[in-house]
Amino acid sequence: MATRSCREKAQKLNEQHQLILSKLLREEDNKYCADCEAKGPRWASWNIGVFICIRCAGIHRNLGVHISRVKSVNLDQWTPEQIQCMQDMGNTKARLLYEANLPENFRRPQTDQAVEFFIRDKYEKKKYYDKNAIAVTNVSKTFSSIAN
């Protein structure tokens, strides 16, 4: 049984994490899903470091935890390490890394099946990944271990 002070510390930490996530979601690229660009993402793949919509969150879950680990921005408890991953990456850096080799005339898919194919190409097959990226952040070290 947790003591009252332990519960209070956990609650305070959770409140701090919620403030950090709220601030991150106000950044321009984080206002839109990293994959389909739907407005107002409320989910995140914390190990990749991207904010995503509920539809894409379901697809990410289907990729398996060896590729993507999904959490609700405001319904789940976050660890300091998970928060750090989100702070280190975010949608802007993730796009530079995972979409570096998108075709010039690429249009984001809109149908459920097309979005799933795009997400699988992007994170599972690393079809558009910048293979020449030098550790953009500490998070990218995790990415390279996932990529191999």
Q: Which domain holds residue 55?
A: 4-147
CA distance 20 to 1: 29
For the entire predicted model, the pTM comes to 0.86
Evaluated on CA atoms 100, 105, 110, 113, the torsion sign reads: negative
CATH number at 51 reads 1.10.220.150
The tens digit of pLDDT for each residue in 87-130 reads: 999 999 999 999 999 999 999 999 999 999 999 999 999 999 99
Identify the burial level of 73 via C-beta atoms within 10 angstroms of its C-beta, where 0-12 means exposed, 13-18 middle and 19 or more buried.
buried
Structural domain count of the chain: 1
Contact 94, 49 (CB under 8 A): yes
Specify the pLDDT at position 133.
Answer: 78
